């Protein structure tokens, strides 16, 4: 079982703040994420700047595309993204158009499906059947703030998605202490946000995540 990758979501409201933040821990993490908030605040400029800062890191644009898939994909990948996201409520045709554009930019470019709300395993199978092999399992920001905890049902759904053949990324207010909940699961990637960005020592917080990932999955 491979070690899960570590991704930090830059959900800053300005590019200046995002750059200042990621300079502290970018060398530790595996994936730099242009967070949804940052993308909508700064546009593709944020993707371009972060690509220049981290030419050798995986760069993900969390645009959560819902329509105009080919156009959005062209914007993301032209700016330097390796991966972009589609919201699970998008039509499969939209996701396919994103993936087609992704592959024009390179064989390793990809599209992740963000799981929010009332998605089903039938939906998931249709994504898989059309070449979409990455999903992001969420405890949403709003659900987290409302006090929703990770549940046995969450763990079972994640396990089922992995069994289907998906690379599963987990996110939603994750702290180092939460990681043990997912031990034994072949998690593709762990996303942290404020738990690293807002830490007293962000570099050390990122190193602590890496240490715990190695302890659990190593």
Catalytic residues: 36-37, 64, 67-68, 72, 114, 138, 141
**179 in Cβ contact with 150 (< 8 Å):** no
Quote the CA–CA distance of 19 and 49 in Å, as a whole number: 9
SS3 category, 118: coil
Angle between helices 69-78 and 92-105 (to 10 degrees): 30
Q: How many Cβ atoms are within 10 Å of 136's Cβ, its own excluded?
A: 26
Quote the CA–CA distance of 21 and 132 in Å, as a whole number: 31
Q: Which two tokens stand for residue 189?
A: 């990637």
Quote the CA–CA distance of 213 and 135 in Å, as a whole number: 20
The single residue listed with the structure tokens 């158009």 is: 97
Quote the CA–CA distance of 107 and 23 in Å, as a whole number: 29
Taking alpha carbons only, the member of 144, 212, 210 closest to residue 172 is 144
């Amino acid at each position: 079982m491979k070690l899960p990758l570590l991704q930090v979501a830059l959900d800053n409201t300005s590019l200046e703040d995002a750059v200042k933040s990621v300079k502290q821990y970018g060398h530790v993490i595996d994936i730099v994420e242009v967070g949804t908030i940052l993308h909508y605040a700064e546009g593709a400029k944020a993707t371009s700047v972060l690509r220049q800062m981290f030419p050798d890191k995986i760069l993900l644009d969390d645009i959560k595309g819902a329509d105009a898939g080919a156009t959005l994909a062209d914007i993301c990948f032209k700016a330097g993204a390796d991966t972009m996201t589609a919201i699970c409520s998008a039509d499969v045709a939209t996701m396919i158009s994103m993936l087609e554009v992704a592959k024009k930019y390179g064989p390793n470019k990809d599209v992740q499906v963000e799981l929010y709300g009332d998605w089903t395993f039938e939906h998931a199978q249709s994504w898989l059947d059309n070449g979409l092999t990455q999903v992001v399992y969420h405890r949403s920001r709003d659900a987290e703030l409302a006090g929703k905890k990770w549940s046995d049902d969450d763990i079972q759904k994640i396990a089922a998605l992995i069994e289907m053949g998906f690379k599963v990324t987990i996110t939603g207010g994750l702290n180092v202490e939460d990681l043990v909940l997912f031990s034994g699961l072949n998690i593709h990637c762990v996303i942290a946000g404020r738990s690293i960005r807002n830490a007293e020592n962000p570099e050390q917080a990122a190193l602590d995540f890496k240490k715990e990932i190695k302890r659990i999955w190593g």
